[in-house]
A and B are shown apart, each in its own frame.
Chain A
Amino acid sequence: MEGYCLKKVVLLLFLTLCVYAKDNLSSLLTTYKKETELSKITKEEAAGIIDIFTREDLEKMQAKNFNDIIKLIGGLHATRLSNNITAFSKPTTATIQLPAVRLYVNNHDMSSSSFGSAFLIWGELPLEYIDHIEVYKGSSSIEFGNETGSLIIRLYTKRPQREVGNKVRIYGDNLGSLNGDIYHAQKLDNGMSYFAYANLNNLRRTTYHNEYKQKSYDLKSDQNGHNLYFDLEGESWSIEAGSYVKEGDNLLGIGLHRTPTGGALNAYHNYVHLNKKFNYDIKLELSYDNLAYDRTYEDINGIRVANTPKLDYYNIRFEDSISSIVLEKVFHYQKHSLLLGSFYKNKKFKADGKYANTQTAYLHMNSYNNALNLYSLYGEYTYNYDNSLRLIFSAKGDFFHYDKSIKSTNETIFRMAAIKQTEHFQIKAFLTRSYVPIPFYKLYNPQNIPYKANPNLENMTLDLGNISLKYKNRDDELELVYAKNRLYNTIVYDRRTANGYKNSGKNIAYTRYQLKYTHNFNLQNRIIFDLYTGKNSQHVVVSPKYGIFIQLFNTIGKFDIYNELIYKSSYSYPVDSRNPFNPLYIDASFDYTVAIKYHINKDLSVGCRGENLFNDSFDQTYRSYTKAIPVSDQKLWLNMEYLF
């Protein structure tokens, strides 16, 4: 009898342990995956105030392209310009200077030299090859060894060592969009590994209409293209190559009455980037870019540009080539570390234009080019006072030498940072003096056709102050951010002057407040609240003053469920410059998105994503157009993913 009881006890204990072991192994794997997220390795606390979109976030969101992410950057409104280019505005302000925002894929700067921004081409970048995204606010770029930018968005590609295998993803929507991604990753016997990715995209968007003189004009923003990426890695080096090609519509275009009758954007960007790490903490990067941006506008009711009669046809093609070398060395000594780096960039810029009025037989063609040699030296000293306090001092000198007409300039950046980290609290404070670089197109155009350029422009100086206070325990994280920026000697456009753009001698200040709260119900269930607002020293409100978004991530059994609600407050915008006291009033918006994914097995999943379900997304206003256009469409996406 005793033996029988003992046997039962042993069996019961064994079964309990078996159940425990199952949960344990499964939950240990989930924990391990979470602990080893690549974002935990790549993020640079010292580089600014950080928002991170982890791989798990992107997968649960069923994120397709960059537009799904940028609308969730706290403190900014993601929008689009009249020609369908992705842009940002801060609460209350108009769209911000594009060169202030820099986009990287791994270590590669995606900016064009003509425009100083990556968003003209990469705004709708397909995301399937991206592992995670880091957004740094109040940054200086010194940590990333490249050109300056106060908002830095870094996209990190999937690592071949972790991806061994293949993936196919196909997704389409009710408007007729159809997109496909495929990638293959392998580790080779010689220790090398590679990742190869291809995407085909065909994005259909809602067509709006403009009525003018009893005629209706379509306002389209469809686009299609492809994206290729290849990464080959050895133990201490990697070589990456990327190629993105896209064609797209112009939305409103640039016509006087916003009545486009044709035109399109044709763009491509090819690049290759080599990273090499040597002994003694020495890093070398070499890269080359070739990109073109070919834009045609057609508007039967007239296009007004600088120094020409009224046009109905406008074509301009910018072609850039950029060669770059970056060299860095880090010294460590006890509590001190010192980063010393330098880079050299050669940026060539060429523009060809054709401007016509088919009704008056006017035709003008022009062509111009220039080049920039940019040298930079930088250093960053870090003093680790103890395990909880870090003090950082950085300095950078940028030396601009142009081939033609534009005067050479020298710019400096200084930065101080303090980071105090205890078990539950983190305080980060940054003080930065930087500048906003001027893109080529504002500096150089000898004929001032079709736009005016001023070779004597001076870069705007920028002071940034950021403080972040974060409280964190096992399940909760609360972050308060206060940021104050001041832009000196702002550049404004004055069409009465021969060169258009000029330094105004005036300063603009901006203050931003942000509160972010995250609660982790457990490893796989999480809610995020992000509230932000701001004010500018000019006391104008031409974009929503308040923004709030809520993200809810859930996993229930084989289902991943994602909810997203974005609120933006009402605002007014003077769409008619001759009548500024009769602005267009825009109601508050509630953009609600749900994504549900069902995992049929470990390798196969199907999902759907309903976007802007209330049909009440953020509406953007435009000059000379009496209505507003939603930034997001109401859509239902179906999604299939297969790993093999």
Chain B
Amino acid sequence: MVEYGVSVLKKLLFIFLLLTSLLFGSDLKTEQRIYNLIIHTLLPNKEDIKVWGDSLHNKELLNTIPNVRFASSPQDADFLLVSKKPLQDPQGIIFVTDFNLLQKMKKSAVGGFFWQKGRPNILFLRKNLQKKSIQLPESMQDYIEDEI
């Protein structure tokens, strides 16, 4: 019974965090709102999310996301936003901002948000989601790809 209660509380906490992030998101710019949604969807049960970015733009972007704080190094981060070059096996979830980089990191990156074919794209890689035991909501299944 206690275990059941904890499980329910966890779910409620996730919903609360998601709602909070979406509500907070309304004051953010659209790009920030997109990352806000991605981060809190990929890390639904995490109360204290540590993030890391490899460029000034990425750092500024992550700095605006509610309920996250910066990690001191890539190894400590739960979520890494990568634009420049592949990282060597960090523990956290890697998300990239460039299609070519996603191709290079297709074994480790969970997904990417990038311009390709004249439009902005969001893409999650199924194998890497499974490796990290991440379940995306049904509504985001359209953004999951087996291959790139």
B139: interface (CB < 8 Å): yes
Which of chain A's residues have a CB closer than 8 A to the CB of B22? 20, 24
A558: interface (CB < 8 Å): no
Query: Interface segment, B8-16, B46-54, B57-65, B66-74?
Result: B8-16
B41: interface (CB < 8 Å): yes
Are the C-beta atoms of A28 and B30 separated by less than 8 Å?
yes
Knowing A17-B15, A25-B140, A25-B143 are in contact, say whether A167-B34 is a contact too (CB < 8 A). Answer: no
Please give the distance in Å from A550's CB to the nearest CB on chain B.
Answer: 27
Knowing A3-B4, A10-B15, A29-B34 are in contact, say whether A21-B118 is a contact too (CB < 8 A). Answer: no
In the complex formed, the residue of A with least CB distance to B137 is A18
Looking at chain A's contact residues, is the secondary structure mostly helix, strand, loop, or mixed? helix
In the complex formed, the residue of B with least CB distance to A20 is B22
Q: Compute how far the CA of A254 lies from the CA of B39 in the bound complex, rounded to whole angstroms.
A: 68
Which of chain B's residues have a CB closer than 8 A to the CB of A165? 116-118
Which of chain A's residues have a CB closer than 8 A to the CB of B98? 187
A163: interface (CB < 8 Å): yes
Which of chain B's residues have a CB closer than 8 A to the CB of A17? 15, 18-19, 137
Are the C-beta atoms of A25 and B139 separated by less than 8 Å?
yes
Which of chain A's residues have a CB closer than 8 A to the CB of B29? 35
Looking at chain B's contact residues, is the secondary structure mostly helix, strand, loop, or mixed? helix
- How many residues of A sit at the interface, in one of the four size bands? 20 to 34
Q: Compute how far the CA of A360 lies from the CA of B123 in the bound complex, rounded to whole angstroms.
A: 75
Please give the distance in Å from A501's CB to the nearest CB on chain B.
Answer: 47
Which of chain B's residues have a CB closer than 8 A to the CB of A36? 120
Knowing A24-B22, A25-B37, A28-B30 are in contact, say whether A13-B115 is a contact too (CB < 8 A). Answer: no
Are the C-beta atoms of A28 and B34 separated by less than 8 Å?
yes
B119: interface (CB < 8 Å): yes
Q: Compute how far the CA of A248 lies from the CA of B30 in the bound complex, rounded to whole angstroms.
A: 48
Which of chain B's residues have a CB closer than 8 A to the CB of A3? 4, 8
Please give the distance in Å from B73's CB to the nearest CB on chain A.
Answer: 25
Are the C-beta atoms of B4 and A21 separated by less than 8 Å?
no
Are the C-beta atoms of A25 and B4 separated by less than 8 Å?
no
A7: interface (CB < 8 Å): yes
Cβ contact of A643, chosen from B11, B30, B117, cutoff 8 A: B117
Which of chain B's residues have a CB closer than 8 A to the CB of A588? none
Are the C-beta atoms of B118 and A55 separated by less than 8 Å?
yes
A364: interface (CB < 8 Å): no
Identify which of residues 1-55 in chain A touch chain B, using a CB-to-CB cut-off of 8 Å: 3, 6-7, 10, 13-14, 17-25, 28-29, 31-33, 35-36, 55
Are the C-beta atoms of B122 and A29 separated by less than 8 Å?
yes
Q: Compute how far the CA of A484 lies from the CA of B31 in the bound complex, rounded to whole angstroms.
A: 43
Which of chain A's residues have a CB closer than 8 A to the CB of B4? 3
Q: Compute how far the CA of A285 lies from the CA of B119 in the bound complex, rounded to whole angstroms.
A: 29
B100: interface (CB < 8 Å): yes
A162: interface (CB < 8 Å): yes
Are the C-beta atoms of A162 and B118 separated by less than 8 Å?
yes
Which of chain B's residues have a CB closer than 8 A to the CB of A33? 119-120
Please give the distance in Å from A264's CB to the nearest CB on chain B.
Answer: 36
Interface CB pairs A-B, < 8 A, 5: A10-B15, A17-B137, A164-B99, A164-B100, A164-B117
Top-4 shortest CB links A-B:
A22-B139, A18-B137, A162-B115, A165-B117
